[in-house]
Amino acid sequence: MASKVSFKGKGKAAAKGADERSAAKCMKEWSTWAMKKAKVITHYGFIPLIIVIGMNSEPKPQLYQLLSPV
């Protein structure tokens, strides 16, 4: 009896351990996915972000000044 109880206890612990491991794995996969998306967004969006912030700062520059060399 005692051995049966202990065997069941071990099975439950093993199941819990597997749950925790898969939860950690899930977190790691999601965080890797999030980092990849963040990297792509930064890569394409950083310079446009600076330009948008700059064009909205005071005194507001005109749009043609972005392209003309004067």
Partner 1 sequence: MGSNVRHTNEPQQPALGLAAVLPPKQDEKAEPAKVDWLNLPCPVPFEEIQREAFMSLKPELFEGLRFDFTKGLNQKFSLSHSVFMGSTELPSQSSDTIKVPTAHYEFGANFLDPKLMLVGRVLADGRLNARVKCDLTDNLTLKINAQLTNEPHFSQGMFNFDYKGKDYRTQFQIGNNAFYGANYIQSVSPHLSLGSEIFWLGQQRKSGIGFAARYNTDKMVATAQIASTGILALSYVQKVSEKVRNLLKFLENFNAQNLYSHKKFWHLQVSLASDFMYNHLTRDVTSSFGYDYILRQCRLRGKLDSNGVIAACLEERLNMGVNFILSAEVDHRKKDYKFGFGLTVGE
Q: Which is nearer to partner 1, 24 or 51 (CB)?
A: 51
Question: Does the protein bind partner 1 through residue 65 (CB under 8 A)?
Answer: yes
Q: Rounded to the nearest 5 degrees, what angle is found at the Cα of 42, between the Cα atoms of 41 and 47? A: 115
Residue type, 32: T
What is the footprint of partner 1 within residues 25-44 (CB under 8 A)? 39, 42-43
Instruction: State the CB neighbour count (10 A cutoff) for residue 70.
Output: 4
Q: How many residues bind partner 1 (CB under 8 A)?
A: 17
Q: How far apart are CA 50 and CA 65, in angstroms?
A: 15
Q: Given the complex with partner 1, which of 16 and 36 has the nearer CB atom?
A: 36
For 62: left if phi > 0, alpha if psi spans -120 to 50, otherwise beta; the answer is beta
Query: Which CB sits closer to partner 1, 26 or 38?
Result: 38
Interface pick for partner 1 out of 15, 23, 34, 50 (rule CB under 8 A): 50
